[in-house]
C-alpha cells in the first residue's frame, strides 16, 4: 500500500504536524540497527530494529529511509516501540525529486525525547514479489530454490554506530550467498553463516547513508539463494463480492480467485505417474500445490466452490458453529479444497468460492441513530500468497442511503455505483474498493454504516405484488371480452 | 336404476363442472410438478451441469447468443471447429433451442432476475416436459376425454422413454421438440375437426418452430400428409380436411424455408415430396368436387377418368424426371438406414458408429415404457373401434413410430408420446367402465328370460353392450362400449352384460392402481439410475458408502483451458469435439457435427497409423495436443480403445489401401491389446498413447487393463513423436528409457493429453534425435545383412 501513502486520511491529518523539510542528521544517532529478513516465497517479512539516541532536545519525529527497491516491494509496514503493541503513526514523505534512490518515512514518536534519551523503534514490513525462482524452470522432480536480493546496508539519514543484516532462510539448505571482502566499515569478518541464517555485519560507524554519495560509493547488493519447500503462490486477481441482504438475514461473500503457482516454471511435462509415485512415497515435490486450506468465518452455510465449467467436488468443509455474540473465541470453519489438477510451476487455476453467513454475525443496528453497521472482511487469506489485484465490492440493500464507510487502510481507488439483482426496481448501492498487493497482514474489515427506510424494505414485495396484480387484471379482462367475429354459441 | 355404490345426487351441474375443472387444473399442476421434479435427479445427484456431448455445443452456441445477440449469432463463423476449415454455425444448426433459451434468458434479465445462462439451459428440458404433459393432455382430450387426457399427461410426464432425452442438463433439441411435436399434432387434429384455418395456421406456426428446433421435423412433414392421404383413401375427404391441410401446408412450408439450414429442402428433397403431393392431390380433389357440383354425373365421370389418369401420370413423371435431373434430391443415406439396418454399417460407418443409431434391443422397450407397452395395443384397438378422423391419426402414428422405434434406439422418443396417448385411452376406458356405479338390470327373472335370447345374440356383443344403460355422463357410454364388450365377454356363462357388485370393481381397479404404482416405481428407478448421469462426471462409491465423483474429463479440459495457449489445436476422436470446445475452449479438428467424413477419417487414420505416418498428418493440421480417453485403469468401458475399430473402419472407408481392419485383429480374429496384439495395433498411435507408461504404474506387478481384462506386457510402448520439445537429462532414479512423455494425464488416467513435438531443429527425424538424446548408439543394421549366407 506504500504507493498510496499520500492518500492516507490519517496521514493527511498529521501532515500539518510533520514538516517536510530536509532531515536533520543532527537530530538522532542510531546506536544500533539490526535488520532481520525472514525469507519465504511470495511474502518476505523484514523487521528492522533501530536503537535511537536523541542528539537534540525535543525531537519527536524519527525518519526512516528506504531504498527504492524496498519501497516498491513493501506492501505493509508498521512501526512501534520495542516491547509495545501500540503502532506508531507514520507518514511517507512525498518525493523530493523523482530520481532519488531512497525515500523517507517519518515516524511520529509517542513523546518528545530529551537529549541523549534512547528509544528502540521496530519497523515491521512485509515485502511482496521480493524473491524469484532460480533456476527459472525446473522439472517435476526437481527441487525449488529462490533468490533474494537486498542492499548490504540499512540506509538511514543518521549516523549509525553499528548495524547488522540477518537473512534467515526457512531451512538450513542455503545454496549460496554473496561473499564479501574488504568492507570498509567491517572490523571482523563481513559475514557469518550459522545454520539457516546468514549475517552481514557488524559494520561500525556508518555515516548518514541516505544520500547519493554514500549509495554510490559504499552500498552493495547481497544475494542469497536458498531452497524453499513450499509452493510459491500468487493470486493474480481477487474479486470479492459481498451482498448484504436484510430480507434473507444473510451476508453472501463470493470470491473469484485467479491463482497461480509463481514458482519455477515446469520444465518438460507433467507426469501423472511421477506425481502419484511422489504422493505414494510421501515425498511431494516442493513446488507442486495439491491442495489449499482456507479459514472461513464460523457459522457459514451453503458454501460453494466451482470454476468456469462447474462444481469442483474435491473439497471438504468443516464448518464451525456460530459463535455467540460478543464471544472472543477464535473459531473458524476450515475448508480444504483441491484444485481440479495439482498446480505445478507456472500453472494457473481460476475458481469461485462463496458462502452465506448469518447477517447478525457481522451487522448490528443502532436504534439511536437508526443506522445499520456491517463489517466486511477484505479477504480470505490464502496462506503464503500475495494478492496482486483485489476488488472488493460491497452491495448494500436496495434503498440504502446515507452510507459511510471506513476501510482498514486506504484503497487504491474507490467508487459507488448501483446494481440491480433479484427483482430490484431501483437498484442497490454498491461500494467498490480496489487494492494492490494484499498480504495476510491486510486481513481487516471494511466497516460500512447505512440507513434503510422502512419503505425500502417493502419495495420488493410491493413491486412483485403489483406485477402479479397486473397479470390477474389482464386475465380477468381477457376472460370477459369476446373478440370473436362470429358470435356463436359458447363451446 | 341400481348402483354399485351410492353417489350424491343433490349436486348442481355447475358445481360438478366447476369442481371437475378445478381438479383438472390441480391435477395438471401436480403432473407438471412431477414431470419437472423427476428430471431433477441429475441436478440433485450431481450438479447443475450440461450433459453428454451435443448439449455442450448447444450450450456454447446459446452463450454466444446470450452474450452477443441474435444477429451476431446468426452470422457466427466458428474458426475453432473443424480446424482448419471452420464452421458456419448460423447456417448449419437448428437455432430453435438456442433462441428459446435466449428469449427466456433475456426475459428473466429484463425482470431483474439475473439467472445464469447455464441454469436456463440446464432447466429448459424439465420446463418443457411440463409443457409436453399439457400438450399431450390437449391431444388426448381430442381422442377421448379429459380423464384420458390427464392420464396421458401423467404418463408422458414420468415415462422413462421421454425422460431419457429430457433430464435437467440434457440440453438437446429433443428437449423442446417433443412439446412442439405434440402441440403441432394437437393443432392439426383441432384444425381437421373444426375445419379451422386458424388452427391450421397455429399448427403451421408450431411446425415452423419445430423445423427451427429439430431435424426430426420430417416426422411431422410426413405424418400429417400420411394422415390426410389415409383419410382421402378412406373416402373421408371433406372441406374441413381441405382447409386444415392447405392452411397448414402452405404457411408451414413457407415458414420452414426461412430456416437457413432447411432452405429449399421442402421443395427439393424426397423426404418432403409426400407433403407436396398430398397438397396437390387435395387441390385436385377439391377442384373435382367443385366441378362435380356444376356438371351432370355422366360428364363428370368421363372427365374424372381422364383427369385422374393424366394428372397421375404427369405428376409421377414430373417427380421422377425432377429427381433424375437432380432438381429433387434423392433419399439420403440416413433415410435408407431406416429401412435397411445394415445399410449404414456398410456404407456410412460414421452413422453406424453412434450408439443411439443402433437397432433397439427388446429390453429397452420394457425399460422405457414398462406397463404402457402392454396398454398401447389395447388403446390402438380402441381407436379402431371408433375410427373417427383423429383416431386414424393415432393408428397411423402408432404403426409408423413403432417401426422406427424398432430400427433406431433414438427414435424410441417419437414412439413414446403415442404410446402414452393410446395407453391412456385404454386405461381410461377401463377405469370408466369399472368406476361407473351403474349396475345392469339384474333380477333373477329377467336373467332366465333373456337366457335363450342371449345365446342367439352371442355374435353381436357390441350391440348389446352399447344398449347398456346410459350413465350420468352420456358421452362416456359410447366410449365404454369397447371395454364393456371385452369385460362382458369374460362372463360368457352369464347372459347379463355389465359389471356386477363392488367386489369386481374393486378387484379390477385395485389391480390397475397396483400396476400404476409399479409403473411409478419403475420410472423413478430408471430415471435415477439410468438416465440421470451427466456422463461428463462419473459417480462411484467410497468404501464408506459416500459418493465419490470421478471428474477426470473436466480436470483435463480445465487444464487445457488454463494452461495452454488459446490457439493450441487439440486433436481427439470426434466424440469429444464439442466437449473440448465447450469446456476447454480450444480449437478442435473434428467434432460431433459430423459433416465432413474425410476430415474425421483423417483423424481416424492418424490414430490408427504408426507414429511415422501419423506425425506428418498431425503437423500438417497444426495439431498441438492429442487427447485420448483411456479407461484401462478404472474400468471405464467407453474409452477410445473400445471405439478404436470405428476409427479404423472410417479411415478404411477413405484410405482402403493404407488402413485395413483385419490388421488390427490377432490371427485368431480376436481384438486384443496384450502381448498377443497384432503389429498394426501395437504400432498404432492410439495404442501407444493409451498404454504409454501404463505398466510402470503397477510398480513391477502385472499390469492389467480392467476394461478388456487383459494383462499388459511389461514393456510398454515408447513415443518418439509426441512429448516435449525440450531435451531432459536422463533421470537416474527411475527406469525411464525415454526422456519426456505426456503433457497431462488426469487423476484416474481417463484423459491423457500428449503434446506433439515440433520438428527437430537439426533436421534429424525425431526417432534419431530421441535416441541421441538418450545417449543410445545408432543401430547398425547393414553388417547383419552382409553376414547372412546367401541362399
pLDDT for B430 equals: 93
Q: Does position B162 have pLDDT exceeding 80, yes or no?
A: yes
pLDDT for B197 equals: 92
Query: Which phi-psi region, left, alpha or beta, contains residue A214 (left: φ > 0; alpha: ψ -120 to 50)?
Result: alpha
A272, B742: Cβ pair inside 8 Å? yes
Q: Rounded CA gap, B515 and B370, in Å?
A: 10
Q: Does position A22 have pLDDT exceeding 90, yes or no?
A: no
Q: Is residue B153 part of a domain?
A: no
Q: Rounded CA gap, B323 and B344, in Å?
A: 23
Cell digits of residue B784? 547383419
* A424 at B interface, C-beta within 8 A: yes
Of A141, A269, A421, nearest to B724 by CB-CB distance is: A269
Q: Does position A136 have pLDDT exceeding 60, yes or no?
A: yes
Work out the pLDDT band at A99, boundaries 50, 70, 90.
low
Helix axes B96-110, B54-68, angle to 10 degrees: 50
Closest approach of A276 to chain B, Cα-based (Å) = 9
Q: Does position A131 have pLDDT exceeding 50, yes or no?
A: yes
Q: Rounded CA gap, B605 and A5, in Å?
A: 64
- Domain termination residue (choose one: B297, B331, B365): B331
Q: Is residue B211 part of a domain?
A: yes
Task: Tell which of B121, B562, B581, B690 to mutate to test the A interface (max A CBs under 10 Å).
Answer: B562
User: For the segment B314-355, what is each residue's pLDDT rounded down to a tens digit?
Assistant: 888 887 887 777 776 667 766 777 777 777 777 777 777 777
Q: Which of A213-222, A298-307, B331-340 has the highest mean pLDDT?
A: A298-307
Which residue numbers of B have CB closer than 8 Å to A's CBs? 47-49, 111-114, 537, 549, 551, 554-559, 561-563, 582-583, 693, 696-697, 723-724, 726, 728, 731, 733-734, 739-747, 749, 755
Q: Is residue B222 part of a domain?
A: yes
The arithmetic mean of pLDDT across residues A91-101, rounded, is 72
Q: Rounded CA gap, A316 and A237, in Å?
A: 24
Whether the upstream peptide bond of residue B84 has omega within 30° of 0, thus cis, is yes
Task: Give residue B148's Cα distance to chain centre.
Answer: 26
B532 vs B392: which has the higher pLDDT: B392
**CB contact residues (below 8 A), chain A span 263-292, against chain B:** 267-274, 276
The arithmetic mean of pLDDT across residues A303-307, rounded, is 90
- Average pLDDT over chain A reads 86
B745, A272: Cβ pair inside 8 Å? yes
Q: Is residue B234 part of a domain?
A: yes
What lies within 8 Å, CB to CB, of A243 at 6+ separation is A250, A251, A252, A254, A395, A421
Q: Is residue B3 part of a domain?
A: no
pLDDT for B720 equals: 67
Q: Are strands A28-38 and A159-168 parallel, antiparallel or unpaired?
A: parallel
User: For the segment B494-526, what is each residue's pLDDT rounded down to a tens digit?
Assistant: 566 777 788 889 999 999 999 999 999 999 999
Give chain A's length.
491
- At residue A213, the 3 state secondary structure works out as helix
Among the residue ranges A53-62, B19-28, B776-785, the one predicted with the least confidence is B776-785
pLDDT for A60 equals: 85
pLDDT for B306 equals: 85
User: For the segment B714-724, what is each residue's pLDDT rounded down to a tens digit?
Assistant: 777 777 666 54
List of chain B residues whose C-beta atoms are within 8 Å of the C-beta of residue A350 = 562
* A20 at B interface, C-beta within 8 A: no
- Measured on CA atoms in the order A179, A180, A181, A186, is the torsion positive or negative? negative
List of chain A residues whose C-beta atoms are within 8 Å of the C-beta of residue B563 = 346-348
List of chain B residues whose C-beta atoms are within 8 Å of the C-beta of residue A351 = none
Closest approach of B47 to chain A, Cα-based (Å) = 7
- Residue A267 DSSP code: P
Q: Does position A36 have pLDDT exceeding 60, yes or no?
A: yes
Cell digits of residue B75? 452470422
B682 to B671, B690, B695: CA distances (angstroms): 12, 11, 14
List of chain A residues whose C-beta atoms are within 8 Å of the C-beta of residue B42 = none
For residues B391 and B384, the answer to whether their CB atoms sit within 8 Å is yes
List of chain B residues whose C-beta atoms are within 8 Å of the C-beta of residue A309 = 554, 557-558, 561, 582-583
Task: Let me know the angle formed at the C-alpha of B730 by B729 and B733, rounded to the nearest 5 degrees.
Answer: 130
Work out the pLDDT band at B761, boundaries 50, 70, 90.
low
Q: Rounded CA gap, B68 and B412, in Å?
A: 36
User: For the segment B66-122, what is each residue's pLDDT rounded down to a tens digit?
Assistant: 999 888 898 999 999 888 888 998 888 899 999 999 999 999 999 888 899 999 999
pLDDT for B455 equals: 46
Provide the whole-model pTM.
0.86
pLDDT for B774 equals: 64
List of chain A residues whose C-beta atoms are within 8 Å of the C-beta of residue B716 = none
User: For the segment B168-197, what is each residue's pLDDT rounded down to a tens digit?
Assistant: 989 999 989 999 999 999 999 999 999 989
- Domain termination residue (choose one: B269, B296, B331): B331
Percent of chain B predicted with pLDDT > 70 = 84
- Measured on CA atoms in the order B137, B141, B146, B147, is the torsion positive or negative? negative
Of B551, B563, B739, nearest to A313 by CB-CB distance is: B551
User: For the segment B611-658, what is each residue's pLDDT rounded down to a tens digit?
Assistant: 888 888 888 888 889 999 998 888 888 889 988 988 998 898 888 888
Q: Are strands A87-88 and A74-81 parallel, antiparallel or unpaired?
A: antiparallel
Q: Does position B458 have pLDDT exceeding 70, yes or no?
A: no
- Measured on CA atoms in the order A323, A324, A325, A329, is the torsion positive or negative? negative
User: For the segment B460-497, what is each residue's pLDDT rounded down to a tens digit?
Assistant: 443 434 444 433 344 444 444 444 444 444 444 556 67
Among the residue ranges A6-15, A33-42, A363-372, A416-425, the one predicted with the least confidence is A6-15
Q: What spatial distance separates the first Cα and last Cα of chain B, rounded to whole Å?
A: 111
The arithmetic mean of pLDDT across residues A271-284, rounded, is 83
- Average pLDDT over chain B reads 83
List, in order of start, the domains of chain A with CATH numbers: 2-227 (2.60.40), 233-457 (2.60.40.1730)
A339 to A302, A439, B458: CA distances (angstroms): 19, 21, 78
Q: Is residue B124 part of a domain?
A: no
Percent of chain B predicted with pLDDT > 90 = 38
Residue B47: closest CA among chain A residues belongs to which residue?
A311
Neighbour tally for B436: CB within 10 Å: 23
B551, A314: Cβ pair inside 8 Å? yes
Q: Rounded CA gap, B651 and B606, in Å?
A: 9
B558, A268: Cβ pair inside 8 Å? no
B741, A271: Cβ pair inside 8 Å? yes
Alpha helices in A49-196, H assignment, sequence order: 68-73
B389 to B189, B278, B384, B475: CA distances (angstroms): 8, 17, 11, 18
B744, A422: Cβ pair inside 8 Å? no
List of chain B residues whose C-beta atoms are within 8 Å of the C-beta of residue A139 = 728, 731
Closest approach of B354 to chain A, Cα-based (Å) = 26
Cell digits of residue B608? 490408427
pLDDT for A97 equals: 62
DSSP bridge pairs for A162: A204
User: For the segment B677-690, what is each residue's pLDDT rounded down to a tens digit?
Assistant: 888 888 888 888 88
B114, A421: Cβ pair inside 8 Å? yes
Task: Tell which of B42, B45, B559, B628 to mutate to test the A interface (max A CBs under 10 Å).
Answer: B559
What lies within 8 Å, CB to CB, of B348 at 6+ separation is B333, B334, B337, B597
Of B557, B696, B749, nearest to A309 by CB-CB distance is: B557
Cell digits of residue A348? 494457473
Q: Does position A207 have pLDDT exceeding 60, yes or no?
A: yes
Q: Which of A11-15, A51-55, B271-275, B347-351 has the highest mean pLDDT?
A: A51-55
Closest approach of A311 to chain B, Cα-based (Å) = 7
Closest approach of B229 to chain A, Cα-based (Å) = 29
Task: Tell which of A137, A271, A307, A471 to mutate to test the B interface (max B CBs under 10 Å).
Answer: A271
The arithmetic mean of pLDDT across residues B589-610, rounded, is 89
- Domain termination residue (choose one: B313, B331, B349): B331
Cell digits of residue B442? 339384474
Q: Is residue B469 part of a domain?
A: no
Q: Rounded CA gap, B620 and B613, in Å?
A: 12
- At residue A240, the 3 state secondary structure works out as strand
User: For the segment B376-429, what is each residue's pLDDT rounded down to a tens digit?
Assistant: 999 999 999 999 999 999 999 999 999 999 888 888 999 999 999 999 999 999
Work out the pLDDT band at B738, boundaries 50, 70, 90.
very low
Give the CATH number of the domain where residue B707 resides: 3.40.50.12610
Cell digits of residue B30? 401436480
The arithmetic mean of pLDDT across residues A438-455, rounded, is 90
Of B554, B559, B733, nearest to A310 by CB-CB distance is: B554
Q: Rounded CA gap, A219 and A221, in Å?
A: 7
Task: Let me know the angle formed at the C-alpha of A402 by A397 and A405, rounded to the nearest 5 degrees.
Answer: 80
Residue A290: closest CA among chain B residues belongs to which residue?
B747
Q: Rounded CA gap, A440 and A378, in Å?
A: 11
Of B47, B554, B744, nearest to A270 by CB-CB distance is: B744
Residue found by looking up cell 485467479 in the block: A258
Of A269, A309, A312, nearest to B755 by CB-CB distance is: A269
B549, A273: Cβ pair inside 8 Å? no
Q: Rounded CA gap, B168 and B530, in Å?
A: 14
Number of domains composing chain B: 2
- At residue B608, the 3 state secondary structure works out as helix
pLDDT for A190 equals: 85
Cell digits of residue B299? 360428364
B376 vs B6: which has the higher pLDDT: B376
Q: Is residue B696 part of a domain?
A: yes
Among the residue ranges A88-92, B575-579, B734-738, the one predicted with the least confidence is B734-738
Of A139, A274, A310, nearest to B49 by CB-CB distance is: A310
Closest approach of A262 to chain B, Cα-based (Å) = 13
Neighbour tally for B608: CB within 10 Å: 31
Work out the pLDDT band at A98, boundaries 50, 70, 90.
low
Chain A to chain B Cβ contacts (< 8 Å): 93
* A468 at B interface, C-beta within 8 A: no
Q: Does position A482 have pLDDT exceeding 70, yes or no?
A: yes
Enclosing domain of residue B772: 551-776
| Nearest Cα residue to B497 out of B508, B517, B483, B513 | B483
Q: Tell me the backbone φ, ψ of residue B239, rounded to 5 degrees.
A: -65, -25
| Nearest Cα residue to B476 out of B145, B193, B149, B7 | B145
List of chain A residues whose C-beta atoms are within 8 Å of the C-beta of residue B554 = 309-310, 340
Work out the pLDDT band at A9, boundaries 50, 70, 90.
very low
Amino acid at each position: 500500500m506504500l504507493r498510496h501513502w499520500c492518500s492516507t486520511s490519517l496521514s493527511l491529518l498529521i501532515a500539518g504536524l510533520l514538516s517536510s523539510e530536509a532531515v536533520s542528521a543532527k537530530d538522532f544517532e542510531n546506536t544500533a540497527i539490526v535488520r532481520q529478513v525472514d525469507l519465504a516465497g511470495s511474502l518476505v517479512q523484514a523487521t528492522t530494529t533501530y536503537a535511537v539516541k536523541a542528539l537534540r532536545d525535543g525531537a519527536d519525529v524519527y525518519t526512516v529511509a528506504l531504498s527504492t527497491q524496498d519501497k516498491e516491494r513493501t506492501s505493509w509496514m508498521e512501526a512501534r516501540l520495542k516491547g509495545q503493541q501500540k503502532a506508531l503513526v507514520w507518514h511517507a514523505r512525498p518525493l523530493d525529486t523523482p530520481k532519488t534512490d531512497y525515500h523517507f518515512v517519518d515516524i511520529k514518536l509517542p513523546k518528545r525525547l530529551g537529549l541523549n534519551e534512547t528509544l528502540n523503534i521496530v519497523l515491521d514490513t512485509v515485502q511482496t514479489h521480493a524473491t524469484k525462482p532460480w533456476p527459472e524452470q525446473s522439472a517435476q522432480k526437481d527441487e525449488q530454490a529462490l533468490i533474494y536480493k537486498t542492499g548490504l546496508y540499512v540506509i538511514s539519514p543518521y549516523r549509525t554506530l553499528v548495524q547488522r543484516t540477518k537473512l534467515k532462510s526457512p531451512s538450513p539448505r542455503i545454496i549460496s550467498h554473496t561473499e564479501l571482502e574488504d568492507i570498509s566499515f567491517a572490523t571482523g569478518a563481513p559475514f557469518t553463516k550459522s545454520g539457516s541464517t546468514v549475517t552481514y555485519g557488524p559494520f561500525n560507524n556508518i555515516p548518514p547513508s541516505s544520500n547519493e554519495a554514500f549509495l554510490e560509493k559504499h552500498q552493495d547488493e547481497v544475494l542469497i539463494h536458498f531452497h524453499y519447500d513450499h509452493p510459491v503462490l500468487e493470486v493474480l486477481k481477487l474479486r470479492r463480492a459481498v451482498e448484504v441482504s436484510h430480507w434473507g438475514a444473510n451476508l453472501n461473500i463470493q470470491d473469484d480467485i485467479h491463482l497461480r503457482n509463481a514458482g519455477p516454471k515446469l520444465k518438460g511435462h507433467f507426469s501423472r505417474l511421477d506425481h502419484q509415485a511422489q504422493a505414494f512415497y510421501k515425498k511431494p515435490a516442493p513446488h507442486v500445490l495439491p491442495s489449499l486450506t482456507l479459514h472461513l468465518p464460523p457459522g457459514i452455510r451453503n458454501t460453494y466452490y466451482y470454476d468456469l465449467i462447474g462444481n469442483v467436488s474435491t473439497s471438504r468443509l468443516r464448518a464451525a458453529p456460530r459463535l455467540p455474540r460478543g464471544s472472543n473465541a477464535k473459531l473458524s470453519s476450515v475448508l480444504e479444497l483441491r484444485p481440479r489438477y495439482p498446480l505445478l510451476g507456472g500453472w494457473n487455476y481460476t475458481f469461485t468460492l462463496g458462502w452465506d453467513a448469518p447477517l447478525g454475525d457481522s451487522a448490528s443496528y443502532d436504534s439511536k441513530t437508526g443506522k445499520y453497521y456491517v463489517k466486511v472482511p477484505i479477504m480470505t487469506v490464502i496462506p503464503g500468497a500475495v494478492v496482486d489485484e483485489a476488488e472488493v465490492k460491497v452491495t448494500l440493500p436496495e434503498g440504502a442511503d446515507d452510507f459511510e464507510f471506513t476501510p482498514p487502510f486506504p484503497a487504491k481507488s474507490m467508487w459507488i455505483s448501483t446494481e440491480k439483482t433479484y427483482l430490484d426496481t431501483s437498484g442497490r448501492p454498491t461500494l467498490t474498493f480496489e487494492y494492490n498487493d494484499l498480504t495476510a497482514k491486510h486481513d481487516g474489515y471494511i466497516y460500512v454504516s447505512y440507513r434503510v427506510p422502512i419503505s425500502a424494505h417493502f419495495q420488493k414485495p410491493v413491486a412483485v405484488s403489483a406485477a402479479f396484480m397486473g397479470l390477474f387484471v389482464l386475465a380477468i379482462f381477457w376472460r370477459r371480452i369476446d373478440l370473436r367475429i362470429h358470435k356463436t354459441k359458447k363451446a | 336404476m341400481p348402483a354399485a355404490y351410492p353417489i350424491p345426487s343433490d349436486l348442481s351441474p355447475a358445481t360438478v363442472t366447476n369442481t371437475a375443472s378445478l381438479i383438472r387444473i390441480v391435477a395438471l399442476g401436480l403432473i407438471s410438478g412431477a414431470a419437472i421434479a423427476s428430471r431433477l435427479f441429475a441436478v440433485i445427484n450431481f450438479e447443475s451441469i450440461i450433459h453428454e456431448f451435443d448439449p455442450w455445443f448447444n450450450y456454447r452456441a446459446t452463450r454466444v447468443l446470450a452474450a452477443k445477440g441474435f444477429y451476431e449469432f446468426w452470422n457466427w463463423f466458428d474458426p475453432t471447429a473443424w480446424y482448419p476449415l471452420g464452421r458456419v454455425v448460423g447456417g448449419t444448426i437448428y437455432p430453435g433451442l438456442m433462441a428459446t433459451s435466449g428469449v427466456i434468458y433475456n426475459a428473466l434479465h429484463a425482470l431483474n432476475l439475473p439467472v445464469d445462462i447455464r441454469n436456463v439451459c440446464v432447466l429448459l428440458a424439465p420446463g418443457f416436459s411440463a409443457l409436453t404433459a399439457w400438450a399431450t393432455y390437449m391431444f388426448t382430450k381430442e381422442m377421448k376425454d379429459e380423464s384420458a387426457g390427464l392420464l396421458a399427461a401423467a404418463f408422458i410426464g414420468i415415462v422413462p422413454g421421454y425422460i431419457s432425452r429430457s433430464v435437467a442438463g440434457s440440453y438437446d433439441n429433443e428437449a423442446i421438440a417433443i412439446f412442439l411435436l405434440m402441440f403441432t399434432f394437437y393443432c392439426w387434429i383441432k384444425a381437421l375437426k373444426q375445419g379451422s384455418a386458424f388452427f391450421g395456421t397455429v399448427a403451421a406456426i408450431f411446425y415452423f418452430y419445430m423445423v427451427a428446433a429439430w431435424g426430426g421435423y420430417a416426422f411431422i412433414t410426413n405424418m400429417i400428409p400420411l394422415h390426410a392421404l389415409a383419410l382421402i383413401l378412406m373416402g373421408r375427404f371433406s372441406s374441413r380436411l381441405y382447409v386444415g391441410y392447405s392452411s397448414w401446408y402452405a404457411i408451414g412450408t413457407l415458414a420452414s424455408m426461412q430456416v437457413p439450414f432447411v432452405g429449399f429442402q421442402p421443395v427439393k428433397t424426397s423426404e418432403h415430396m409426400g407433403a407436396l403431393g398430398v397438397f396437390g392431390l387435395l387441390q385436385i380433389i377439391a377442384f373435382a368436387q367443385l366441378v362435380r357440383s356444376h356438371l351432370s354425373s355422366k360428364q363428370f365421370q368421363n372427365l374424372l377418368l381422364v383427369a385422374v389418369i393424366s394428372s397421375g401420370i404427369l405428376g409421377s413423371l414430373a417427380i421422377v424426371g425432377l429427381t433424375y435431373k437432380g432438381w429433387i434430391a434423392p433419399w439420403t443415406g440416413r433415410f435408407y438406414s431406416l429401412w435397411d439396418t445394415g445399410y449404414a454399417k456398410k456404407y456410412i460407418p460414421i452413422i453406424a458408429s453412434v450408439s443411439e443409431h443402433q437397432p433397439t434391443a427388446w429390453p429397452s422397450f420394457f425399460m422405457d415404457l414398462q406397463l404402457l407397452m402392454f396398454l398401447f395395443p389395447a388403446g390402438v384397438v380402441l381407436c379402431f373401434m371408433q375410427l373417427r378422423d383423429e383416431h386414424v391419426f393415432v393408428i397411423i402414428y402408432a404403426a409408423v413410430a413403432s417401426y422406427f422405434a424398432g430400427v433406431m434406439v433414438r427414435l424410441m422418443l417419437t414412439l413414446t408420446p403415442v404410446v402414452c396417448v393410446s395407453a391412456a385411452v385404454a386405461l381410461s376406458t377401463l377405469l370408466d367402465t369399472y368406476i361407473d356405479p351403474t349396475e345392469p338390470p339384474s333380477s333373477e327373472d329377467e336373467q332366465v328370460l333373456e337366457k335363450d335370447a342371449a345365446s342367439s345374440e352371442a355374435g353381436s356383443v357390441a350391440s348389446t353392450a352399447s344398449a347398456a344403460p346410459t350413465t350420468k355422463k352420456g358421452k362416456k357410454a359410447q366410449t365404454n362400449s369397447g371395454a364393456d364388450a371385452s369385460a362382458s365377454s369374460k362372463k360368457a356363462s352369464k347372459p347379463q352384460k355389465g359389471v356386477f357388485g363392488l367386489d369386481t370393481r374393486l378387484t379390477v381397479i385395485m389391480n390397475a392402481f397396483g400396476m400404476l404404482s409399479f409403473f411409478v416405481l419403475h420410472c423413478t428407478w430408471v430415471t435415477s439410475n439410468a438416465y440421470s448421469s451427466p456422463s461428463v462426471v462419473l459417480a462411484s462409491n467410497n468404501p464408506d458408502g459416500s459418493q465419490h465423483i470421478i471428474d477426470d474429463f473436466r480436470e483435463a479440459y480445465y487444464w487445457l483451458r488454463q494452461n495452454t495457449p488459446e490457439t493450441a489445436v487439440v486433436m481427439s476422436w470426434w466424440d469429444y469435439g464439442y466437449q473440448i470446445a465447450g469446456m476447454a475452449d480450444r480449437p478442435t479438428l473434428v467434432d460431433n457435427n459430423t459433416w465432413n467424413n474425410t476430415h474425421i477419417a483423417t483423424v481416424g487414420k492418424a490414430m490408427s497409423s504408426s507414429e511415422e505416418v501419423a506425425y506428418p498428418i498431425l503437423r500438417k493440421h497444426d495439431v498441438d495436443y492429442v487427447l485420448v480417453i483411456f479407461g484401462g485403469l478404472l474400468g471405464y468401458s467407453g474409452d477410445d480403445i473400445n471405439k478404436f475399430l470405428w476409427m479404423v473402419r472410417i479411415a478404411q472407408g477413405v484410405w482402403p489401401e493404407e488402413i485395413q481392419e483385419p490388421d488390427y485383429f490377432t490371427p485368431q480374429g480376436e481384438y486384443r491389446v496384450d502381448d498377443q496384439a497384432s503389429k498394426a495395433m501395437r504400432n498404432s498411435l492410439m495404442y501407444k498413447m493409451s498404454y504409454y507408461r501404463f505398466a510402470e504404474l503397477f510398480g513391477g506387478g502385472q499390469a492389467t487393463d480392467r476394461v478388456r481384462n487383459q494383462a499388459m506386457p511389461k514393456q510398454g510402448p515408447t513415443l518418439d513423436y509426441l512429448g516435449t520439445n525440450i531435451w531432459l537429462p536422463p533421470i537416474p532414479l527411475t527406469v525411464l528409457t525415454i526422456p519426456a512423455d505426456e503433457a497431462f494425464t488426469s487423476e484416474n488416467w481417463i484423459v491423457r493429453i500428449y503434446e506433439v513435438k515440433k520438428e527437430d531443429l537439426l533436421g534429424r527425424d525425431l526417432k534419431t534425435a530421441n535416441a541421441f538424446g538418450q545417449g543410445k548408439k545408432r543401430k547398425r543394421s547393414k553388417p547383419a545383412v552382409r553376414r547372412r549366407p546367401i541362399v
